[in-house]
Structure 1
Amino acid sequence: MIHILSVLVENKSGVLSRVTGMISRRGFNIESLTVAPTEDETLSRMTIIVEADEVSFEQITKQLHKLVAVYKISDLTHSDAIERELVLFKVQAPPERRHEIIEIAGIFRANIVDVGKNTLTIEATGTASKLDAMEDLFRSYGIKQLTRTGKIAMSRGAHDQ
């Protein structure tokens, strides 16, 4: 099962290495990882996507709690959380087909961030399924390059994390 962890940690060098090292030493693959400072410059939030059964996942969270640099862990897997990813598509776009690609981007509320002689670069944010659907449509035009962030997640409403 895929689990989504939101981990509040010290914003210091070496913390990322200790957290990811602990997870990998136990034989788990991190499917996705994003890290950035929070509203408090002394803290960073890590969003970690890991595949594990319930028992193994519990073991991971218990081990994370033991790390000095970890302040709070929230399991967003079964919660009502907001999840987003960012993707950049560089799509083959000859002038005669450019309008079609721009229309598709518009339907998905994506932005054209660069125009080349024969390419368009499109930026989009959303759920994994939305970005997968865009990718499927752009494949027929020819994706020259694609880069995608990992998932970020936050609980909805008045929840702490």
Structure 2
Amino acid sequence: MKHTLSVLVEDEAGVLTRIAGLFARRGFNIESLAVGSAEQGGISRITMVVNGNDQVIEQITKQLYKLINVIKVQDITDVPCVERELMLIKVNASSTTRSEIVELAQIFRARIVDVADDSLIIEVVGDPGKMVAFVQVLQKFGIREVARTGKIALIRESGVNTEFLRLSEIKV
């Protein structure tokens, strides 16, 4: 099962290397990794997606806490969160397909950020499922390149679980 971990660390050189080394030594793959400044100066938030069962995640959490610069580790997989990713995607766009691609971009609330004679670069922001769906609809035009940031997430203070709301809308 994929787990999303939110890790607060002191913003010092080598912290990310030590965390990545911890995963490598234990043979675990980090599927997604995003790092940036947190709400407090000198602190960074690392959001990572890793594969493993609950026992594996518990062991990883304990190991992370043993690292000197780690302040807090949270498994936010089953907690109501706001999750986002950024993706840039370069797609073939001839004069005959360009308008259809632009329409699809509008449906996904994406933005065209570069136009060339035979291609478009599109920026899309949203949850990971939206990224997958957007790639699927653009597949038929020919995707040249994709760059994704990886997931970032914050816990919803409201406690509202949008996945639950979405599922209840479908049933009605």
What band does the TM-score fall into relative to the shorter chain? over 0.9
Letter paired with 1:123: E
Alignment of 1:75-90 (within 5 A): 75-90=75-90
Partners of 1:156 and 1:24 lie apart in 2 by: 31
The Cα RMSD (Å) is 1.2
Partners of 1:158 and 1:144 lie apart in 2 by: 40
TM-score, normalisation: structure 1: 0.94
- Tell me the SS of whatever aligns to 2:141: coil
Q: CA offsets, 1:19-48, max 9 Å, x none?
A: 111122112111111111123230110001
Cross-structure match for 2:22: 22
Partners of 1:111 and 1:61 lie apart in 2 by: 38
| Percentage of matched positions with identical amino acids | 48
Deviation at 1:12?
1.1
Partners of 1:84 and 1:141 lie apart in 2 by: 25
Deviation at 1:83?
1.1
Q: CA offsets, 1:79-122, max 9 Å, x none?
A: 00111111111111112221110000000000000011111100
Partners of 1:24 and 1:128 lie apart in 2 by: 25
Letter paired with 2:60: I
- Tell me the SS of whatever aligns to 1:39: coil
Q: CA offsets, 1:118-143, max 9 Å, x none?
A: 11100001111111111111111111
Spell out structure 1 runs of 4+ moving beyond 2 A.
none
TM-score, normalisation: structure 2: 0.88
Gaps of 5+ in 2: 160-172
Deviation at 1:67?
1.0
Cross-structure match for 2:67: 67
Comparing both structures, which one devotes a greater share of its residues to helix?
2
Partners of 2:26 and 2:155 lie apart in 1 by: 27
- Tell me the SS of whatever aligns to 2:16: helix
Gaps of 5+ in 1: none
Deviation at 1:54?
1.3
Cross-structure match for 1:135: 135
Q: How many residues end up aligned between the 2 structures? A: 159
Cross-structure match for 1:34: 34
Alignment of 1:88-107 (within 5 A): 88-107=88-107
1:111 counterpart = 2:111: yes
1:9 counterpart = 2:12: no
